[in-house]
């Protein structure tokens, strides 16, 4: 499902115009991004958590040049689904 599909689905189910739904979805995503950039996690009960994870400094190899490089400590955004969300997907998704 793409963002456009999501907007269409929400618009259909709620009866709200697509333009308003698009603005709401964009604002929702911007708010989550801004929160993570500022170092704050976002917790949505029953859905999951958008968190900032710290990656430690590590040594890696550049295979083509056969050299060692150091990847500095950095932070990455991550999503951790809630247990109820995980169980719901496990029980209802059919292969």
State the average pLDDT for the chain: 94
Model pTM score:
0.78
Closest Cα to residue 32, out of 40, 23, 21? 40
**Residue 93 has what pLDDT?**
85
Whole-number Å distance between alpha carbons of 41 and 53: 10
For residue 81, list its beta bridge partners.
48
Burial class from Cβ neighbours inside 10 Å (0-12, 13-18, 19+) for residue 82 reads middle
Task: Looking at the structure, give the CATH architecture of the domain made up of residues 42-83.
Answer: Irregular (4.10)
pLDDT band at 95 (very low <50, low <70, confident <90, very high): low
């Amino acid at each position: 499902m793409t963002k456009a599909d999501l907007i269409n689905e929400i618009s259909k189910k709620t009866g709200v115009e697509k333009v308003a739904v698009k603005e709401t979805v964009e604002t929702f995503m911007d708010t989550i991004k801004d929160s993570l950039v500022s170092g704050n996690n976002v917790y949505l009960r029953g859905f999951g958590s958008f968190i900032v994870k710290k990656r430690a400094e590590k040594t890696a190899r550049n295979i083509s040049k056969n050299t060692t490089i150091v990847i500095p400590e950095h932070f990455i955004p991550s999503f951790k689904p809630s247990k109820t969300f995980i169980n719901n997907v496990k029980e209802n998704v059919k292969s």
